[in-house]
Amino acid sequence: MRTLEIAVVAVDAVVLLLTVFRLPPRWWQAASKASSMRRWLRAEPVLLVGLLLPFLAHLVIERHRFVMIPAYAITVILTCVLLTRWFRRARRTADAPRRGRPALRVLGRITAMMAGALALAVSSAAGFLLPVFKLPTPTGPYAVGYTEEHLTDSSRQEWTTPDENDLREVEFSIWYPTEATTQGRPLALDRRLAKSTAVNGDDVFGTARARGVLENSLDHFRLIDTHAVRGGEIVQVSGGFPVIFYSPALGTGRFDNTSLMVDLASQGYVVVAVDHPYTSGAPVSLSSGRQVDRDPGEPSATEAGQRESWLERVARWTATNSADLSFILDHLTALNADPGSPFHHRLNLDSVGAMGFSLGGASAEQALADDPRFDAGVNMDGTHFGTVRDTGVPVPSLNILSADHVADISKARKGEQTQDEGSIENARFQEQFHDRSTGPTWAVTIENTNHVSHDLHSFISPALTGNTVQPQTEETIRALVTDFFNHALRGQEPRLLGRDSAVPRKVHFLPDPARPDVQ
């Protein structure tokens, strides 16, 4: 929670106690009666000032957010109660005798105190679990501009829907280097990240109402600076900037790694993050006006008898997502050649990388295998789904594995019990992919990481995801990814690849990427 949010809750709690039990007691009354202003020198105006000062300061300085509504409600109710008491007392010289049964008054006060305490506890817990976080500052020399596009591929039918006239559509964002003097509207963390997070929450809680509550609870994203601006002219350099594509995880969206995208752009890369309809959790807006998220025909990955169907579905997803990346690369090629385009001769399309998280990592690898224009790729904790596990890739690749993932694969190879029932498959796919890849491959793990350590969800709720040192993890991922692409796309000597180090989290490169149990 932020400082003034804590102040609001703390002051609410104190004033609630004093108001419900009609405190402060006789010492205040004696002082007020001895004063020439005894009709106005009451506890109520003092409590009102103490109550409203932190509340108004919070609204002006920190700005409101949804999870604080229960605390705001207590502030408003207490304000009304105190004002009512104050003006009533100001009109008479003595307190009117209290009527009613003492037992009922006590019960009412206890009930009011418990209800108020519950409301404040809800705001406190929600504020702690969903903090207003800061994204790390970009490390490169460039400022970062942003734009986004929507395209329809008239050559591909959308196979996930029964309508034969549906064509494949994609939405994507582009972060690019711009001058530090560029003027533009500061870009806050996109609201669509809240929507994709809420879609995943809907899967957990199983109700549309839960989705709405969670999405609204993330309204503070509007307060989080991404260190980029909307618009701005892309810098012109000799040969243009290398291009990196990003594919998100199943059920997330193209903004789930905004911090990494912005940092790469600050390092002199043009970064294209894609929302794939029916695998992205953030609703993708289609040209018809419809918004779609998850594939309605998705089988269960865990229910008995559906695992094979799910793997077949995933293979189709990765192939389709790979084709999405190639389609957008075609579009960028046209923009680079178009004198009227802001990207004219600004892109180095001889140096193109692909990366992704989870399913997006598999999709990026599939693009490396399918399209020779892709020169290098990074898979962040993604299983090697699709046909790429059978073919490998012919170009450099980096596999960033969570510590949990490595532990499960190692146990599966030894025949031990694992947390993930797909670990046996993952172990087999890991071995097949790296054994059959002809390009140089690296596999690295970062200490004490789990699957969601690789995107912004650990910033969204460190407590729920178990990633309380996410800024250091993010810095480590940035360093590894940048070092890899600087080497693979720019030919620079690697600083980190193949070397165990602390940057700042400890990283360990696996001696044999195909066999994580070999240390």
Angle at the Cα of 92 (from 87 to 97), degrees rounded to 5?
A: 100
Give pLDDT, residue 92. 62
Q: Which residues make beta-bridge pairs with 507?
A: 446, 501
Instruction: Give CA–CA dist 71/4, Å, rounded.
Output: 12
Instruction: Give CA–CA dist 236/350, Å, rounded.
Output: 16
Per-domain residue ranges for the chain?
3-129, 143-509
What dihedral angle (degrees, nearest 10) is formed by the CA atoms of 187, 191, 196, 200?
A: 120
pLDDT-derived band of residue 490, with 50, 70 and 90 as boundaries? very high
User: Which of the pair, 394 or 411, is modelled with greater confidence?
Assistant: 394
Q: Is the dihedral of CA 316, 321, 324, 325 positive or negative?
A: negative
8 A C-beta contact, residue 277 and residue 286: yes
Q: At residue 37, does pLDDT exceed 60?
A: no
8 A C-beta contact, residue 489 and residue 353: yes
Q: Which residues make beta-bridge pairs with 242?
A: 348
Give backbone dihedrals phi and psi of 233, rounded to 5 degrees, phi first: -85, 135
Instruction: Give CA–CA dist 385/275, Å, rounded.
Output: 19
Give pLDDT, residue 457. 85
pLDDT-derived band of residue 54, with 50, 70 and 90 as boundaries? very high
Residue 221: both structure tokens together? 């994203």
Sort 508 into a burial class: Cβ within 10 Å, 0-12 / 13-18 / 19+: middle
Task: Calculate Rg over the CA atoms of the chain.
Answer: 28
Query: In percent, how much of the chain has pLDDT > 90?
Result: 54
Residue in 421, 424, 208, 429 with CA at minimum distance from that of residue 300: 421
pLDDT-derived band of residue 428, with 50, 70 and 90 as boundaries? confident
Look at 8-17, 36-45, 217-226, 305-314 and tell me which has the smallest mean pLDDT: 36-45
8 A C-beta contact, residue 484 and residue 399: no
Instruction: Give CA–CA dist 169/325, Å, rounded.
Output: 12
Residue in 402, 146, 367, 336 with CA at minimum distance from that of residue 246: 367
Q: What's the whole-number mean pLDDT along residues 412-419?
A: 69
Give backbone dihedrals phi and psi of 206, rounded to 5 degrees, phi first: 80, 15
Q: At residue 38, does pLDDT exceed 60?
A: no
For the chain, give the longest Cα–Cα distance. 93
Instruction: Give CA–CA dist 193/197, Å, rounded.
Output: 6
Q: Which residues make beta-bridge pairs with 186?
A: 229
Q: At residue 195, does pLDDT exceed 80?
A: yes
Provide the CATH topology of domain 143-509: Rossmann fold (3.40.50)
Instruction: Give CA–CA dist 80/85, Å, rounded.
Output: 9
Q: For 343, which DSSP code?
A: T
* Distant-in-sequence, close-in-space partners of 1: CB < 8 Å, separation ≥ 6: 9, 124, 127, 128, 131
Instruction: Give CA–CA dist 395/373, Å, rounded.
Output: 10
* pLDDT (tens digit per residue) in 314-355: 899 999 999 999 999 999 999 999 999 999 999 999 999 999
Give pLDDT, residue 39. 47
Q: At residue 94, does pLDDT exceed 60?
A: no
Give pLDDT, residue 395. 96
Instruction: Give CA–CA dist 364/357, Å, rounded.
Output: 9
CA-based end-to-end distance of the chain: 41
pLDDT-derived band of residue 115, with 50, 70 and 90 as boundaries? very high
Residue 510: both structure tokens together? 């696996």
Mean pLDDT of the chain: 87
Give pLDDT, residue 53. 96
* Distant-in-sequence, close-in-space partners of 493: CB < 8 Å, separation ≥ 6: 487
Return the number of other C-beta atoms located less than 10 Å from residue 191's C-beta: 14
Q: For 225, which DSSP code?
A: E
Q: At residue 93, does pLDDT exceed 80?
A: no
In terms of DSSP H, where are the helices of 258-402? 258-266, 307-337, 359-370, 388-391
Instruction: Give CA–CA dist 361/380, Å, rounded.
Output: 6
* Distant-in-sequence, close-in-space partners of 509: CB < 8 Å, separation ≥ 6: 442, 443, 444, 497, 498, 499, 500
Instruction: Give CA–CA dist 140/265, Å, rounded.
Output: 8
Q: For 235, which DSSP code?
A: P
Look at 82-86, 235-239, 466-470, 497-501 and tell me which has the smallest mean pLDDT: 466-470
Q: At residue 145, does pLDDT exceed 90?
A: yes
Give pLDDT, residue 27. 44
Residues constituting the chain = 519
Look at 244-258, 279-293, 350-364, 435-449 and tell me which has the smallest mean pLDDT: 279-293
Residue in 450, 360, 448 with CA at minimum distance from that of residue 405: 450
Kindly write down the DSSP assignment for every residue of 10-24, as one continuous string: HHHHHHHHHHHTT-S
